[in-house]
Amino acid sequence: MNPYEVYVTYLALKRHFSSDSYDFFKYQGKIRCSMETFKKSKDRFFFEKLSRKKKPQEVIDFFVSNFIAMDNPSSLWIGDIIKKGEAIYIESKRIRESMSYIFEQDLKSIVETQHLYDLIKTEGTKHSKIIKLHLNNTLRFESFFILVECLNIQNQYDKTYTDPIWSAISKKISKYRNFFRGDYNKYKSIIRKYIP
């Protein structure tokens, strides 16, 4: 990727994670942005550096890892990525490479004192315990995402919780879904080990 393409990829992913209507995959990462706009960007040097250091898939993974690290991906600013982006990307890459092990460790730690069904059940409009574990960073987003997907609870939560906190989480889950590269059958078998 050349620097302009990296810039367009960033803009497309930012729109993907912040807009309800734009889909990075549907539009194949294309977005209206002129070369002149790129040339006027104060952060052009950053995109030039990324284009030299990362392959196309790594550029996408780099930006996606930064967007999902945020509670509200639409509030991510390029300055934050410039300062902390590489550290977030390295940690995200480490998690992806050991995801099965990390997921099992995360699951094991949260079911030590409570049954998984008790953690995911809804009680009125109060957030379920699994959501609270995610919000207080006891359960990392990737493991939370896998549980939501494998247990198929997003639709139920969407009907139960209409607050802005859950809406932002639900949107992030939906927007991340097509970027996730994992074997759901493997994760389901890990979950079965912890459901007596």
DSSP 77-96: -HHHHHHHHHHHHHHHHHHH
Spatial separation of the C-alpha atoms in residues 168 and 74, rounded to whole Å: 9
Task: Provide block-wise average pLDDT over 10 residues at a time, the chain (196 residues).
Answer: 97 96 96 94 95 97 96 86 96 96 96 93 93 95 97 96 94 96 96 87
125: tokens are 């409009």
Rounded to a whole number, what is the largest CA-CA distance in the chain?
60
Output the pLDDT for position 71: 82
Which fold would CATH assign to domain 3-97?
A: Helicase, Ruva Protein; domain 3 (1.10.8)
Give the number of other Cβ atoms within 10 Å of residue 71's Cβ.
13
Q: Which residues does residue 126 pair with via DSSP β-bridges, in sequence order?
A: 123
Output the pLDDT for position 72: 83
Output the pLDDT for position 76: 87
Q: 111 near 96, Cβ under 8 Å?
A: no
The full set of domain ranges for the chain reads 3-97, 99-193
CATH of domain 99-193: 1.10.220.50
123-161 tens-digit pLDDT: 889 999 999 999 999 999 999 999 999 999 999 999 999
pTM, rounded to two decimals: 0.92
Output the pLDDT for position 195: 84
Q: Which residues does residue 123 pair with via DSSP β-bridges, in sequence order?
A: 126
CA distance to 83, 88, 116, per residue, from 6 (Å):
17, 18, 41
